[in-house]
Chain A
Amino acid sequence: MKLLYFAWLRTKIGKAEETIEPPAEIATVAALIDWLKARGPGFADALKNAKLVRVAVNREYVGWDHPVRPGDEVALFPPVTGG
């Protein structure tokens, strides 16, 4: 699974992307985020406020109950501020 982080999630986590293999029981976005939070203080800080975390799986916005599978590209980022 490829993970991408953008904007202040990227700076708090300390990297822009990584490839990980979460345990098989991690089957949804919500479970993945809970699992990531336990990986270190940077992750915990970046992901502590769920209201400020947007998720895209394979480049499409999804909700937190959306499934995640090995091979997916999962992006985590704050609310967008373009335009």
Chain B
Amino acid sequence: MIRVQHEDFDVGAELVAIGRGNTRIGGLVSFVGLVRERAGGEAITAMTLEHYPGMTERELGAIEAEARQRWPLEECLIIHRYGKLAPGDRIVLVVTASAHREAAFASCQFLVDWLKTKAPFWKLEETSAGGRWVEARDGDAESAKRWVAE
């Protein structure tokens, strides 16, 4: 399931809700991405996430479909926020649920790696010196590539 929203989410409530009633699930793995207080030594006052409505949902849906094809997932949830956020705010939640932990761990990491390089979001960091668009990290592309050869 994909949700793209400005509003915050309740991690505990999502984890309880996702597997409710599905006793085939043996393990849930979650990743929560947060706004860091610093970028390159500078304090961030705010972070604004811009996205491409319509394409965002489509890309995240495609990434979820890819994960479901690769691993036997019972449940899969991606919530990604947009708009103006503050240090410490939650940005993204990825939850995977499977009968066994291996699939849940691996698919959760895959989803995070792929959404970082494919989902059309852009971060604007605000510091006392002004706004600055975050540059894509080579490391993110490398992390995403490791899933291609499999």
Chain A residues proximal to chain B, CB less than 8 Å: 4, 6-8, 56, 59-61, 75, 77-83
Residue of B nearest to A59 (CB): B55
C-alpha gap A13/B23 in the complex (Å): 53
Least Cβ–Cβ distance between A69 and chain B, in angstroms: 18
Residues of chain A within 8 A of B119, CB atoms compared: 80, 82-83
C-alpha gap A78/B52 in the complex (Å): 12
Least Cβ–Cβ distance between A21 and chain B, in angstroms: 22
Does B65 belong to the interface (CB within 8 Å)? no
B54/A6 in contact, CB under 8 A: no
A82/B123 in contact, CB under 8 A: yes
Q: List B111-137 residues whose CB lies under 8 Å from chain A.
A: 112, 115-124, 133-136
A-B contacts counted at CB < 8 A amount to 70
A56 in contact with B55 given A79-B136, A82-B123, A83-B91 (CB within 8 Å): yes
B120/A83 in contact, CB under 8 A: no
23 contacts between A and B (CB under 8 A): A6-B52, A7-B50, A7-B124, A61-B118, A75-B55, A75-B120, A78-B136, A79-B117, A79-B135, A80-B116, A80-B122, A81-B121, A81-B123, A81-B135, A82-B51, A82-B91, A82-B115, A82-B120, A83-B112, A83-B115, A83-B116, A83-B121, A83-B140
A81 in contact with B58 given A4-B52, A7-B50, A75-B52 (CB within 8 Å): no
A7/B116 in contact, CB under 8 A: no
A78 in contact with B122 given A7-B133, A83-B115 (CB within 8 Å): yes
Residues of chain B within 8 A of A79, CB atoms compared: 117, 135-136
Residue of A nearest to B141 (CB): A79
Does B90 belong to the interface (CB within 8 Å)? no
Residues of chain B within 8 A of A7, CB atoms compared: 50, 122, 124, 133
Least Cβ–Cβ distance between A24 and chain B, in angstroms: 27
Q: Which 9 A-B pairs have the closest CB atoms?
A: A82-B121, A79-B136, A7-B122, A83-B116, A59-B55, A81-B134, A8-B133, A81-B123, A82-B119
Residues of chain A within 8 A of B136, CB atoms compared: 78-81
Selected contact of B118 from candidates A8, A77, A80, CB within 8 Å: A80
Least Cβ–Cβ distance between B144 and chain A, in angstroms: 10
